[in-house]
Amino acid sequence: MKLFKAATTVCCVALAAVALTPGARADDWNRKTTITFSGPVEIPGVHLVGWAVLPAGTYVFKILDSQSDRHIVQIFNQDETMIYATILAIPNYRLRVTDKTVVTFTERPAGEPEALRAWFYPGRNWGEEFVYPKARAVVLAKAANTPVLFTSADLPLEVTEPIKSVDAPVVAQMRTAPVMAVKPTGEEMQLTEAVTPPPAETEVAAAPMVAERALPATASLLPLMALFGLLALVGALVLRATTKHLV
């Protein structure tokens, strides 16, 4: 009887692993975050036509692609049925870690929408600083009196269809696009002068997140765990029946 209970427990644990593991890993590597804006927010990146400014509302942020020196972030609607923007971002380090999501904005004149600057995931001391087209970065840097990241790459500003694949040509462009910063004076500055990259150990810790996305075979182990649990249960039932027969 004890053996039967043990085998049943093994089976339940295996099935629980099948049910819970995929969701936990997905949120870990893509850092899915639901954010509500109380007012309109200007966003950079490649956005759907008419969506350069997000109206007040709730949105979902996710990492589409993650490399050591740059990330690509996407903004969805609340139920994740529409992708409004795909944005190049550079990891930027902060000293203070919080247990809540932090979103920062570039200050704007009164009456104009705030401009999205950076997004920090809970529990991490580095986040995503967003990259604007050069012409827009110059305006924002002067208005806020602070450096703003920019790229001079010839990326499209608007698209009629959302970018859904990590293999899309625009995403490939973002991976290699040169990134610098512009001062409030309009002078250009090197990225290393404006951004503090995560420490080396942080980058190493983040690397498996990309591997899990690129290697879907990880998920294929879960049905195997369930099979082992089922076999254990069947074995226990057979053993129990045999024991009764002998008695």
223 or 46, which is more confident: 46
Q: How far apart are CA 168 and CA 165, in angstroms?
A: 5
In order of 56, 137, 173, the CA distances from 134 in angstroms are: 26, 5, 16
Tell me: the pLDDT tens digits for 150-190? Answer: 999 999 999 999 999 999 999 999 999 999 999 999 999 99
Q: Which residue has the tokens 């309009």?
A: 186
Q: How far apart are CA 115 and CA 6, in angstroms?
A: 57
Q: Which residue has the tokens 């954010």?
A: 35
- Asked if residue 150 lies in contact with residue 179, where contact means CB atoms within 8 angstroms, the answer is yes
Amino acid residing at 150: F
What's the confidence (pLDDT) of residue 227?
Answer: 52
Predicted TM-score (pTM) of the model is 0.69
What's the confidence (pLDDT) of residue 126?
Answer: 81
For residue 45, the tally of other CB atoms under 10 A from its CB is: 25
For residue 9, the tally of other CB atoms under 10 A from its CB is: 13
> At residue 217, does pLDDT exceed 80?
no
Identify the CA nearest to 126 among candidates 211, 63, 75: 63
What's the confidence (pLDDT) of residue 167?
Answer: 92
Q: How far apart are CA 12 and CA 52, in angstroms?
A: 49
In order of 15, 117, 152, 237, the CA distances from 158 in angstroms are: 45, 19, 16, 62
The least confident of 4-13, 57-66, 117-126 is 4-13
Q: How far apart are CA 140 and CA 90, in angstroms?
A: 17
> At residue 55, does pLDDT exceed 90?
yes
What's the confidence (pLDDT) of residue 205?
Answer: 37
